[in-house]
Structure 1
Amino acid sequence: MDASIRPSPFVYPDTASTRAGIEAVSDRLAGGTIAIVGLGGTGSVVLDLVSKTPATRILLVDGDAAEQHNAFRWPGAMAIEDIQAGMTKVEYFARVYGRMHTGIEAHPVHLTADTLDLLNEADFVFVCVDSVAARASIIPALETRDLPYIDCGLGLSLVDDRLMGLVRVTTSTPMMRDHVHAHDRIPMTGDTDDALYRSNIQVADLNMLAGTLAVIQYKQMRGFYLDTEAEYHAIYATDGNAIINADRAAGA
């Protein structure tokens, strides 16, 4: 559909793009359905950013409750009344970001074989879960459905009584998937869930970086940002403040 006649998904006009004179570039992000699986520290940042794009629909998939500790990893400041209300994560976020974007849909379930039909109309998926077992079921299902996705992961280790953090962003599309499995880019086997990450709430900056890098990659794929590397796998390490790119798309 021509962008000039496509209904806006915003509650109020995007005057930021108009003010900057980049409407034509922003229109490259218009339309389609984005799914975010997992609305924890990273998925919430992805939502914060994609809710400000003209995607038609944004599906939120997470069966967990919104609890007090979550507030310390999420963007913004969660009100004590919202904590006490006993909402699910997706219900809370749909309420907050629905003030700005009309296409947000809350699905308070975990993504399993029984709920995969939620992705029937998805065009792109952000996988933001912190469980190896969850990834082991989600990733093959997305590939079977020929869906492009970006998987985000964090890892922490204790070195000399200080935390060392890694942020990973891995992309997979129908045109390029072999790197995920050939190089074990996404942890899907073993008992490697990061207990140190789960127990340390003061790493929201790493969550924010993971979500931000994932959305930048998505925007590169949509032609919004110039992309001269075309990397499908990137690792950021806190100790050296460096990002290492790998697995470049053919022709890059």
Structure 2
Amino acid sequence: MLQKQTNHSLGIKKLRNDDYEVEIVGNFLLIHSVPYLNANRELVYGTLVSSVSTPIPDTHVVYFIGEIPCGIDGKPMNQLINSSHRHDLGNGIIIDHIFSHKPNPMYPTYYEKMVTYVKILCGQAQHYFPDATAKTGRVIETKQEDSVLHYSNTNSSRAEIDVVNEKLSGIRIGIVGLGGTGSFILDKVAKTLVGEIHLFDGDRFKQHNAFRAPGATTKERIDLNDFKVDYFTEVYSQIHRKIIPHSVYINETNLGLLNKLDFVFIAIDIGEIKKMVFKKLEDLNIPFIDCGLGIEREGNELMGIVRTTLSTPEERGHVYNGLVSFSNGEDDDYKTNIQIGDLNNLNAIFAVIKWKKYYGFYNDQRLEYNSNYSVNVNTIFNNEV
């Protein structure tokens, strides 16, 4: 979150000016050292937490880190507590309770929202401890953003899935081939917390590429005749800080570029190169996904199969059992009919979903290592090892 937004548009600067112990972590606002009573009517301190993913509060709910807060009678404040269970919000924030105090109208700023909850808790504590206060005056410096993304994914914070997103954090990704499928893979991976994205392609970005790539570009931009990797790096560096272009075709002389990667997407159709890359990644114990797209003409219509094949250090042999074609595709109608960006996108979507399943982002109950989607019958066929 930008510091300017944090200080001015959210009412957080006022919280600091009033000596509350404020900390910003990702898209969450924390107020530490909030006094309250526990079941023994002892003075203890906890932390209030609120998502600040919108300019003004869009929910009255806050989270709390600490014991069950109690009233002056030592009984739980059930009128405040919505539920009690430990829950990981991501960013190292693990909360114990959810509070609900709904005003009418909604809190106009985060200042009013947080102060309301502080007063509810602190008011009970002050019955026995008149000097109890959350205004400690302690300043917690907001850490400089070290995220690979230029701006935060506020949808994830609002949906409370930051902890799920963190499963992809730091992974070094390679994408071999920046044609239709590879460019769509980049479009999706660039919006995650992966540590680095290495792009490999020695081709130039030309007019036909524009029709099977994400988004749109101008004819003038195409006329610059840049390498594909440089063009896509320019586009996606607007959201992700760590995109590294390699304007080369992978071959036996530069396979070492793959050495330090954690996962690789392969989106090329040259069989001998594909087999060479497979062998290199297997020797390095690097998991990978190979993407396949086959198009045939049936009269004046097209029939297609979209293939997704996962290879892991635990399961390798299936890629050589006829699931993956190592031909160069010279007779494939795909070579001449390239206006099928939708299937490229679908190929990328299947690949990215399987990749996310591999890292536990999505639940995976089938554990298939190969799947084929047939366009004309609208059916997915899974192959399990």
Deviation at 1:81, TM superposition (A): 2.3
Q: Does 1:160 align with 2:299?
A: yes
Match of 2:140 in 1: none
Match of 2:69 in 1: none
Which amino acid in the other structure matches residue 227 of structure 1?
Answer: D
Q: Which moved more, 1:118-127 or 1:130-139?
A: 130-139
TM-score normalized with structure 2 length: 0.61
Match of 2:352 in 1: 215
Q: Does 1:240 align with 2:377?
A: yes
Which amino acid in the other structure matches residue 299 of structure 2?
Answer: D
Task: Report if the CA contact (8 A) 1:237-1:243 is conserved.
Answer: yes
Q: 1:227 aligns with which of 352, 364, 377?
A: 364
Deviation at 1:247, TM superposition (A): 2.2
Match of 2:248 in 1: 109
Match of 1:47 in 2: 186
1:222-242 C-alpha deviation (Å, 9 max, x unpaired): 111011101000000111000
Match of 2:128 in 1: none
Match of 2:215 in 1: 76
How has the CA–CA distance of structure 1 residues 163 and 107 changed in structure 2, closer, same or farther, with 3 Å as cutoff? same
Q: Does 1:187 align with 2:341?
A: no
CA distance in 2: counterparts of 1:45 and 1:62, whole angstroms: 14
Q: Does 1:29 align with 2:168?
A: yes
Match of 1:118 in 2: 257
Match of 1:139 in 2: 278
Sequence identity, in percent? 42
How has the CA–CA distance of structure 1 residues 51 and 16 changed in structure 2, closer, same or farther, with 3 Å as cutoff? same
Q: Secondary structure at the match of 1:231?
A: coil
Deviation at 1:191, TM superposition (A): 5.1
Q: Secondary structure at the match of 2:173?
A: strand
Task: Report how many aligned residue pairs link the two structures.
Answer: 245
Q: Does 1:38 align with 2:177?
A: yes
CA distance in 2: counterparts of 1:100 and 1:153, whole angstroms: 28
Deviation at 1:139, TM superposition (A): 1.5
Which amino acid in the other structure matches residue 221 of structure 2?
Answer: D
Where in structure 1 do 4 or more consecutive aligned residues deviate above 4 Å? 2-6
Q: Secondary structure at the match of 1:10?
A: coil
CA distance in 2: counterparts of 1:144 and 1:193, whole angstroms: 29
Which amino acid in the other structure matches residue 201 of structure 1?
Answer: I
Is the radius of gyration larger for structure 1 or structure 2?
Answer: 2
Q: Secondary structure at the match of 2:369?
A: strand
TM-score normalized with structure 1 length: 0.93
Q: Taking CA–CA contacts closer than 8 Å with sequence separation of 6 or more, which of the two structures ends up with the larger relative contact order?
A: 1
Task: Report if the CA contact (8 A) 1:155-1:194 is conserved.
Answer: no
Q: 2:338 aligns with which of 201, 204, 208?
A: 201
Which amino acid in the other structure matches residue 208 of structure 1?
Answer: N
Deviation at 1:18, TM superposition (A): 1.1
Deviation at 1:85, TM superposition (A): 1.1
